[in-house]
Structure 1
Amino acid sequence: MKSNKRDIWIYIVAIFTVIFIIVTWIITYRLLKDLPNEERGTLGDMFGTLNTLFSGLAFAGIIFTILLQRKELSLQREELKETRRELARSAEAQEKSQIALNKQSKYTLNASRINALSTLIENCNSIISNDRNSYNRDAAKKDKKDFINQMYEIIQEMKNEL
């Protein structure tokens, strides 16, 4: 809020200064237009000091503007540093999230593989108990062992990752 009031105050002063200069110029022109050139020149020389004053004020205004810009640039640099820090934290959090998603994906894949192997083992059990052909039962027993070994390997792999 202070900054807004200050900005408004600066604009008001600037507007009144411009109006003052224009009005002074118009009044001076109207008063001096009927005088001969020599008298106008002498009268103009009297305002040399005033001209110097306005030049000095303009120079002071330029210096003030440069100082304000310098302050703004330093604030902008600080803001950029903060933005970089925040982006670094965001990137770090995103990396951690990606790692967690990769782990979750791996666990989901392993759970799906275990479910598939479990279904295959149940199918082998069904063949072993219901099929009268000994060749099919022997093949189902062999397949069942292979599926159980695969399931065991997946479980061991998951334990090793923890």
Structure 2
Amino acid sequence: MKTRKFRSLNLGKLTVVAAISLIIGIWIGAWWWVSNPSDFIKSLTTQPLADTFSSVNALFAGLACAGVLITIYLQMRELSVTADDLKKTAEANTATARAISDTALANGEMARASLKVAIHADERSVLDLFQVYCSQYFQDVKNSSMSVLIPCVASKEYFDFVVSRFFVADQLPLPPSCWGRVSKVTYSKSYEEFIIQEQHHRYKLDELINFFTMLTGRDNACEIILRCDFSYSWWRPLFWMIASQQERRINECPRVRAYATPLYFLKAVKKLDEIYGFEPFSSDAEMWDFIVHHPKIQSYNLDPAHGAHLSRSAV
């Protein structure tokens, strides 16, 4: 490849040198011709040498003019070709832009279709969860959960014990002293019977919390959640009690925080508030005022120790 370019370059140089040599040769030949005029030239003109040589100058001037005209013609052809190329390039760019636009529109349609599918899938999953919520099995889950939540309202000691059991570190023992208040709101006949049943009920409470956490994970199904009756107005004060105390314990106990997994229940409760149109609490004190004044909470023999450090008013 390099050899061909080198040969082409040499050929061009030789052509230029040959042309220059030819021109110089014509000039020298013309000088010699007019300097040694033959009888033939003398018979044609009697003009001086300079005037005779002017014809050669006129010849080269004409050739130069012709060269300029040829150059202009070639440049015009080149400009025409360039214009055609630019036109074709513009047409190609227009076609490319049109293709990109069509592709973008197609992608937009696909995105909208995918969103519709996702929304439909989320709505379908919510309906499936609602069927689970209404099932006989889950009725047992709700009943067992209430068997834990109501004693949590009645006894602050038992409440702290239950919350500690959501974490793997620094779990509190079940305090026998809580039985005095718990016995007033439980179906258990004795403390021993309560101990036997209590663990089973707490496992069901875990199921209930996980259920609502999964329910609020459907970002595209808020409308269908709102239209389904998940009895959130009943669960709300109890959920806020559990979720807020979970957050407080993980913030106050370094060992608990070191071994705990991320808390999703508080986010789930806030999401449920948003879906069902409840105003967010501006402070913990406002939240506890809502809890302690809630009619269902008061009917569960609320322990005055709940939120005593935050509530703005006594119960």
User: Into which bin does the TM-score normalised by the smaller protein fall?
Assistant: 0.5 to 0.7
* Unaligned residue ranges in structure 1 (runs of 5+): 1-7, 33-41, 137-142, 148-162
**Equivalent residue for 2:138?**
131
1:77-130 CA-to-partner distances (Å, cap 9, x unmatched) read 111111111111111111110100000011111111111112211111111112
The runs of at least 4 consecutive aligned structure 1 residues that moved more than 6 Å come to 8-11, 24-28
Within-5 A mapping of 1:1-162:
13-22=15-24, 43-129=49-135, 130-132=137-139, 146=227
Q: Name the structure with the higher helix share.
A: 1
Which amino acid letter does the alignment assign opposite residue 70 of structure 2?
F
Gaps of 5+ in 2: 1-9, 36-47, 144-207, 209-223, 229-315
Instruction: Sort the Cα spacing of 1:109 and 1:88 in 2 relative to 1 into closer, same or farther, 3 A.
Output: same
TM-score, normalising length from structure 2?
Answer: 0.33
Shift of 1:146: 3.4
Change (3 A) 1:24 1:50: closer
How far apart, in 1, do the equivalents of 2:134 and 2:17 lie?
Answer: 100
Deviation at 1:47, TM superposition (A): 2.0
Listed one character per residue, the Cα deviations across residues 34-86 of structure 1 (whole Å, up to 9, x for unaligned) are: xxxxxxxx645432111111111011000000011111111111111111111
Percent sequence identity is: 25
Structure 1 residues 50 and 24 mapped into 2: Cα distance closer, same or farther (>3 Å)? closer
Report the secondary structure of 1:47's partner residue. helix
Structure 2 distance, partners of 1:69, 1:18, is 23
Provide the C-alpha distance between the structure 2 equivalents of 1:12 and 1:56, rounded to a whole number of angstroms: 25
| 1:24, distance to aligned residue in structure 2 (A) | 6.3
Task: Give the aligned residue type for 1:19.
Answer: S
Question: Structure 2 counterpart of 1:114, which letter?
Answer: H
C-alpha separation in 1, matches of 2:51 and 2:79: 42
Give the 3 Å change call, closer, same or farther, for CA 11–79 of structure 1 in structure 2: farther
State the match for 1:155 in structure 2.
none
Aligned residue pairs: how many?
123
C-alpha separation in 2, matches of 1:76 and 1:12 = 30
Aligned to 1:153: none
**Larger relative CO (CA 8 A, sep 6+): 1 or 2?**
2
C-alpha distance in structure 2 between counterparts of 1:11 and 1:62, whole Å? 21
Question: For the residues of structure 1 that align with 2:56 and 2:68, how far apart are their CA atoms?
Answer: 18
For 1:97 and 1:64, how far apart are their aligned partners in 2? 49
